[in-house]
Chains A and B, each alone.
Chain A
Amino acid sequence: MMIKHIRTIIDKEWAEVFKNRMVLFTIIFMPMIFTILPLVMLYVMGEAVGDMSGGTADVPQAFLAACGGLSGMECLQIYMVNEFLILFMLIPVIIPVTIAAYSIVGEKTTHTLEPLLATPISTVELLAGKSLAAAIPAILVSWLAFGIFLLALPLIGVSRGVRAYIGGPIWLLGVLVAGPLMAVASVNFALYISSRVNDPRVAEQISMVIMVPILGLLFAQLAGLIVISVAVMLIIILLLALIDVGMIYLGVRIFQRETILTRWK
C-alpha cells in the first residue's frame, strides 16, 4: 500500500470532480439547506413559544420520558431537533454518492480506466483513493454544516438546555462517528453500483437507495416507534461499523483488476 498512490488518485479525483457543476451544486447547496432549514424552524418555534403552552401533546410519550427535567417547550424543540440530526446524517450519505458516481462512470466514459490499471497502482490503492476522495469532502462538509448550526443556535434564541442537548453525546456521536461511517458505506455502495451502469445520473439515482434506511429511521422516530438515545445511537454505530467492514472486505474481493477492466464497461 503506497500512500503516495492514494494521494495521487485523490488529487486527480478532486481536480476532475470539482470541475463538475452538478457535483459542486450538491456539495454546496444540499448541506446549506439542511443547515438553514432546522435553524428557521427552531426560530419560528421560539417565536411562537407564548401561544404554545400545552404543545407537547404531539410529542410521543416515550420521548417525553426521555426529556427529563426540561420544560415542555424545550422537549418539543428537542423532539424536532432529533429529526434534524437525521438530516445532518444524510449529508455524508448523499455527497459521496454524487462524487463516486461521477468519478467512476466518468473514468469509463473517458476510457481512462485501462491506462490507470496498467500503472503499478494496486486495486486496493485505487479503491481507497476513490473512496477517500468521495468520503473526505462529505465528512468535512457535514462537520462544517454542524459547526455553523451550533454557532447559529444562540443567535436565534435557542435555550441553553436545548443547546446543551445538541452539543451533547447523541449529536456528537451522530455527526462525528455515525456520519463518517455512513459515508464509508455510501461510497462503497456507490462504487459497486457505478461499476454496473454506464450513466452517472443512473448510478447516482440507484445509489440513492442507500438513503432508504436513514429515512426509515426518520419516519420511525416521527411515528414514535423509536427514540434516538445514546444507547440507540451506539447500536446504530456498531451496526454501521459492521456493515462498513463487510462492504470493504467484499469490495476488495470483488474489484479485481480483470473484473474492473472487463465488467466496468
Chain B
Amino acid sequence: MIVTEDLTKVFKIGKKGKEEIVAVESLHLSVKEGEVFGFLGPNGAGKTTTVRMLTGLIAPTRGRASVNGLELGKENRAIRKCVGILTESPGMYERLSAEKNLSIFASLYDVEDVPGQVRKFLQMLGLWGRRQDPVGSFSKGMRQKLAIARALLHDPKVLFMDEPTSGLDPEAAKMVRDFIESLKARGRTIFICTHNLDEADRLCDRIGIIKQRLIAVDTPAALRQRLYGRKVVFHLRELNSKWVKVVSALPFVKEARAISERLVVSLENPDRDNPEIVRCLVKVGADIQFVGELRHSLEEIYLETLRDIEDER
C-alpha cells in the first residue's frame, strides 16, 4: 500500500539556503494493506516530514515512493484523492458549524453524496445534534474526532495520522484511541505517527522507530524480543547463588542472573527449554513458586534503541 525507497528530505535554511537540515534520510519502508503502522520517534525525528512527503504536500529531495500503487511526484493529485490525513495540528474553521466544516471538505474531495456522507460521520461521532454549532464551541476531543472524520469523508485507502492524541487530556485521548481502534477493526490501512509508546503498542501491527533514519521495524512483540531475546523469570522461595551457576552452565541458556529472590534467564526458545530448567532447579533443591515471562515495555526498548543510535554517532 505504501512503499518507499531511499526517501530523503533535506531542508535548506538560512541565508541563500546555505545550511541544510536532513529531516528524513534514506527511508526504506513498506506498509501492507489493512495494516496499522506506527511511526515512532522523538520530536524532530522527521515523522511529520515523512507524512507530508507521502501525501504529496512537499516534494522529496531524493528517492521515490508509491502510495496505493500511485507514483509520488507524478500522480500527486491522484494520491491526495485516495489518502486521508490528520495533520499535526488539524485546524477547523472555528466560526463555521461542524456540518459546514465537513461539507467543505467533502466537496473538495469530490464526494458523491456530500450531505449523506456528512450526516453519516456526524451521527457516528454522536455530533448530529450539535451539527449547527460552531466548531469553536467543541471540546478538544470532539474536535479531534471531527478532524479524523474530515480525513475519512472520501473513504481513503490509507489514513495518515500525525500524533492523533498529542495535546489531548487522558479522557479525550482515550476517546480518540477508541475511535482509531474501531477503524482498525474495520480493516483500514493506517499510518500513525506518535511519540506515545503505549499508543503504538496498543494500536499498531508493526512499528518503525525513526530518527532521521529508520532504526528498526517490526511488530511490537518482535521488537521486544529482538532487542532483549526472551527472558524467563523463576520466582523461588530462596535463592542460592550456586544455582545460578548451574543454570548458566546449561547449553541453551544465554545468560542467567539473580535479582533478589528471582532468577532471570535469557533463552532463545523458552517453550522448548523451560521444562529442562525447571527439572534442573528441582534437582538441586530449589522451591519454584512461579515461572513467568519477563516483558519489556516498549519504552525500555525504544530508549535503548535511541541510546544505541547516539552511541553510534
Q: Is the CB of A120 within 8 A of B109?
A: yes
Which residues of chain A are within 8 angstroms of B57 by Cβ–Cβ distance? 114, 117-118, 257-258, 261
Stretch at the interface among B91-99, B181-189, B202-210, B223-231: B91-99
Interface residues of B in 88-110 (CB under 8 A from A): 88-96, 100, 104-105, 107-110
Is A53 engaged at the interface, CB distance under 8 Å to the other chain? no
CA of A262 to CA of B12, assembled, Å: 12
A26 on the interface (CB 8 Å rule)?
no
Closest residue on chain A to residue B150 by CB atoms: A115
Pairs A–B under 8 Å by Cβ, sample size 17: A5-B108, A11-B104, A16-B93, A110-B92, A110-B93, A110-B94, A114-B90, A114-B91, A115-B147, A119-B108, A120-B77, A121-B108, A122-B77, A257-B56, A258-B57, A261-B52, A261-B58
In the complex, whether A48 has a CB less than 8 A from a CB of chain B is no
Most B CB atoms within 10 A — which of A11, A113, A118, A262?
A118
- Residues of chain B contacted by A201 (CB below 8 angstroms): none
Which residue on chain A has the smallest CB distance to residue B136?
Answer: A110
A115 touches B59 (CB 8 A): no
Distance in angstroms between the alpha carbons of A74 and B239 in the assembled complex = 116
Q: Given the interface contacts A4-B107, A15-B100, A115-B105, does A262 sit within 8 Å of B58 by beta carbon?
A: yes
* Across-interface contacts of B81 in A (CB, < 8 A): 120
- B157 within 8 Å of A (CB atoms): no
Interface residue from A4, A16, A258 paired with B59 (Cβ < 8 Å): A258
Knowing A118-B87, A120-B80, A122-B77 are in contact, say whether A8-B93 is a contact too (CB < 8 A). no
- Minimum CB–CB distance for B84 against chain A, Å: 8
Check if B90 sits within 8 Å of A115, measured CB to CB: yes
State whether the Cβ of B55 lies closer than 8 Å to any Cβ in chain A: yes
Query: Within the complex, what minimum Cβ distance (angstroms) separates A240 from chain B?
Result: 32
10 new A-B contacts at CB < 8 Å, known A110-B91, A257-B56: A4-B110, A8-B107, A12-B93, A16-B96, A110-B93, A114-B90, A118-B85, A120-B77, A121-B108, A261-B52
Closest to B82 in A: A120
The yes or no answer to A61 lying at the interface (CB within 8 A) is: no
By secondary structure, the A interface counts as helix
* Residues of chain B lying within 8 A (CB to CB) of residue A160: none
Q: Name, among A116, A117, A120, A258, the residue most crowded by chain B CB atoms within 10 Å (CB to CB).
A: A120
Q: In this complex, what residue of B is CB-closest to A108?
A: B91
- Which residue of chain A has its CB nearest to the CB of B48? A114
Complex contact B107–A112 (CB within 8 A): no
Closest Cβ of chain B to A242, distance in Å, is 31
Q: How far is the CA of A119 from the CA of B56 in the complex (A)?
A: 10
Interface string of A155-183 (1 = CB under 8 A from B): 00000000000000000000000000000
Residue of B nearest to A121 (CB): B108
Query: Complex: how many Å from CA A129 to CA B80?
Result: 19
Distance A241 CA – B81 CA, assembled complex (angstroms): 36
Distance in Å from the Cβ of A195 to the closest Cβ of chain B? 16
Q: With the chains together, A115 CA to B147 CA distance in Å?
A: 9
CA distance A121 to B59 in the complex (A): 17
Q: Which residues of A lie under 8 Å from residue B147 when comparing CB positions?
A: 115
Residues on the B chain within 8 Å of A5, using CB: 107-108
Interface centre among B93, B94, B109 (most CB of A within 10 A): B93
A12-B59 CB under 8 A given contacts A110-B92, A120-B109: no
A11 to B96, CA, bound (A): 12
Instruction: Please state if B89 and A119 are interface contacts (CB–CB under 8 Å).
Output: no
A12 / chain B contacts, CB cutoff of 8 Å: 93, 96, 100, 104
- In chain A between 16 and 45, which residues have their CB closer than 8 angstroms to a CB of chain B? 16, 19
Once bound together, how far apart are the Cα atoms of A118 and B161, in whole Å?
13
| A111 close to chain B: CB less than 8 A | yes
**B6 nearest CB across to chain A (Å):** 20
CB pair B89 A8 closer than 8 Å: no
From B77, B91, B108, B151, contact of A8 by CB (8 A): B108
CB distance from A222 to the nearest CB of B (A): 43
- Which residue of the partner chain A has the closest CB to B100? A15
The reply to whether A111 and B52 form a contact with Cβ atoms under 8 Å apart is no
